[in-house]
A and B are shown apart, each in its own frame.
Chain A
Amino acid sequence: MSNLIKFKIDGNECMAEAGTYIVEAAHQNGIYIPTLCNMPGVKPKGSCRICTVKINGRLMTSCTTPVTDGMEIESNSNDINELRKSIIELLFVSGNHFCPACEKSGNCELQALGYLYQMMVPRFPYDFPKREVDASSPFIIKDQDRCIMCKRCIKSIKDKEGRSYFAFHNRGNHLEVVLDKELAANMTKETAELAMKNCPVGSIIVKEKGFVVPIGQRKFDKKPIGSDVTV
């Protein structure tokens, strides 16, 4: 038996099953809330903060907060959008993102959010971190310059025994997502392609298959990110 509750997003009446996370409930009601680290089928962690909304004056991540009856959520406001834009800008300056030569360009969620939130110039100083490219795997190139450490690969790309191909390595400023070389030696091409698909940016690239989709036919060439949700 369904347990529908009522809540509001930006003043719009919405309904969803009790316990549904806000980001999911919003999407069910045709309202787009951006996400980067969150992906369907994987337990949310709220690490990227791009889905931040305001509830009762408090900032909360909508991917980890369930809706409750009568909840009033502020999402598409100047304050929240400015916060999201800042997060995107910080992600750009903390890595080495060179969109013009990145084959994920046009399919990249970070780039698409940069366009959506009209990131024109970086307001924060570039970090220019010195990071390496790991190309030792048979099917994958792991480009650390582009990694936003969302953990989507760690959480979603696993072998038959449930072991993750990817893992965090080091700490603090040196933290990075690395590929387990022993597991990667037996990774199939299909798994490699799934890893590239699940990566929201161009950090995981399948070897020898670049730029095959022409400009104009890439995911975000025709419609901006979120337009498949928005009613």
Chain B
Amino acid sequence: MSKKITIEPVTRVEGHGKVTIFMDDKGEIKQSRLHIVEFRGFERFVQGRPYWEAPVLVQRLCGICPVSHHLAAAKALDVIVGAGTGHGLTATGEKMRRLMHYGQFFQSHVLHFFHLSAPDFLFGIDGDPAIRNIIGIALTNPALAVQGVMMRKFGQEIIRATAGKKIHGTGAIPGGINKSLSIEERDEFLKGADPLNADKMVSWAQEALEFFKNYYFANKDFIDNFAYFPSNHLSLVRKDGALDLYHGVLRAVDADGKKILHDIDYQEYTNYIEEEVKSWSYMKFPYLKEYGKEQGWYRVGPLARLNTVDFIPSPLAQAEFEIYKAMTFGKPNNHCMHMHYARLIETLHAAEMIRELLNDPDILGDDLVTKGTKQKEGVGLIEAPRGTLFHHYRINDNDQIEMANLIVSTTNNNEPMNRSVNHVAKAVMTGKEVITEGMMNAVEVAIRAYDPCLSCATHALGKMPLEITLLDANEQVIDRKVSQ
């Protein structure tokens, strides 16, 4: 009998989504889909608001990485107030924003690794779901859990010092920033009591990376083959090809490493990228115009970034990057689970950059804002933890926003996440009479690798029931399980 398997909601991801898997009479997987079941509408309700409200308003999309939306909107408005794209700000303005962004990157990546992904590595993807969570880690490996919590705290404190609040601050304003660091704040981050100082964060980031590498080498076949498929990859890169999470030009490479988007100015992104709407999801499907819907989809995020960049401009992360790249002989890495590996290299890079910026006297400066000739339209791109984030605004003669378009990171990963779900469903469920919890978690593991922010909103960790419903071809319920 044919079946429709529903995983709802998908757990240990940000936001709410569900998966449906259609199985035919022979037990073959016919179709798998990741549905995004919520609607936000930010692009509509910012219309009519004064443009300088946008960075504060749109960051409410998300409680996990609001800084990314805050900064992407501010970068778009930099263009509108005539402060230019990326490097038009004062040294203090740009470096304070970078510090905020790396603090955000650090805490978000740490949250994903320790709280959301590590339970799968420590307890196995088919381990007991009752302990396969951060509480299970705290009970069985308290030192690791404390490390995760303290690393996240450090990143959040950097955000508080630069944006005014740990969540939903107001630091970035059009053309700059509204505060710099005091000497006391700077010294607290550099020389604070153990473990809350920059040096410790760098060494802990190295330890987290080692933890994953040890797991990887012990489980190489699983990590290498789980949801492997070739794809294009897209991200911002610095003009010289370096990893730059705050600003750069837009580059895409194909699965073999050939450049298919040649370091373009992102103000012109609409010439290169289009979004497709599908009836079964509130999330759109972006693709590169030149290559069409079937061939032009791409991945963003840690895996994509380390595939597009030529090098990482911080020594410890660069050394790890060279080892990482050697595993695929310098070619793009298309292993889905290597996303975790890439994410931890970026975590180390973020820690190094935080330390470097804290040692830069410009972050103590008082020249905060720059402005020039006002423009009607601006685009702001940033590499959010989950990938490239697009903010695009147009204003009217009265300084009100009349058009907004946001392509959030997870939207860019929509097609690859769907492909990952399909890949894993085929691999673990084909021909199986009984669908176990472990099989369904395997599907979630594939989604989790992308660290998706399905709603770009806060979520209640550990409070979401996993509901699985088996239906026949007529959509009649033949089995139903609910677990916590």
Which A residues lie at the B interface, using CB under 8 A? 100-101, 103, 133, 135-136, 141, 205, 207-217
Q: What chain A residues lie within 8 Å of B399 (beta carbons)?
A: 135, 141, 207-208
Main secondary structure of the interface of B (DSSP, over half): loop
The smallest beta-carbon distance between A102 and chain B, in angstroms, is 8
- Per-residue interface assignment for chain B, residues 165 to 189, with 1 indicating a CB less than 8 Å from any chain A CB and 0 otherwise: 1001111011000110000000000
Q: What chain B residues lie within 8 Å of A207 (beta carbons)?
A: 50, 399
Docked CA distance A141–B53 (Å):
12
Contact A212 B53 (CB under 8 A): no
Docked CA distance A213–B56 (Å):
13
By beta carbon, the residue of chain A nearest B368 is: A212
A-B contact count (CB 8 A): 59
Between A and B, 13 residue pairs with Cβ closer than 8 Å are A101-B53, A101-B57, A101-B60, A103-B52, A136-B398, A141-B50, A210-B56, A211-B55, A211-B170, A212-B173, A213-B178, A214-B170, A215-B169
Most buried by A among B53, B81, B169, B171: B53
Contact A210 B400 (CB under 8 A): no
Q: What chain B residues lie within 8 Å of A212 (beta carbons)?
A: 173, 178, 369
Main secondary structure of the interface of A (DSSP, over half): loop
Contact A211 B173 (CB under 8 A): yes
Docked CA distance A210–B400 (Å):
13
Which B residues lie at the A interface, using CB under 8 A? 48-50, 52-53, 55-57, 60, 81, 163-165, 168-171, 173-174, 178-179, 369, 398-400
Q: What chain B residues lie within 8 Å of A135 (beta carbons)?
A: 50, 398-400
By beta carbon, the residue of chain A nearest B175 is: A208
By beta carbon, the residue of chain A nearest B162 is: A214
Most buried by A among B81, B369, B399: B399
Contact A214 B52 (CB under 8 A): no
Contact B48 A133 (CB under 8 A): yes
The smallest beta-carbon distance between B52 and chain A, in angstroms, is 4
Contact B398 A211 (CB under 8 A): no
Q: What chain B residues lie within 8 Å of A216 (beta carbons)?
A: 164
Q: What chain A residues lie within 8 Å of B164 (beta carbons)?
A: 214-216
Contact B52 A208 (CB under 8 A): yes
Docked CA distance A191–B50 (Å):
20
Checking A100, A133, A209, A217 against B60 with a beta-carbon cut-off of 8 angstroms, the contacting residue is A100
By beta carbon, the residue of chain B nearest A211 is: B170
Q: What chain A residues lie within 8 Å of B50 (beta carbons)?
A: 133, 135, 141, 205, 207, 210
Docked CA distance A108–B328 (Å):
57
Contact B52 A215 (CB under 8 A): no
Docked CA distance A214–B179 (Å):
6
Contact B52 A211 (CB under 8 A): yes
Docked CA distance A210–B164 (Å):
15
Docked CA distance A103–B52 (Å):
9
The smallest beta-carbon distance between B199 and chain A, in angstroms, is 27
Docked CA distance A141–B50 (Å):
8
Q: What chain B residues lie within 8 Å of A133 (beta carbons)?
A: 48-50, 400
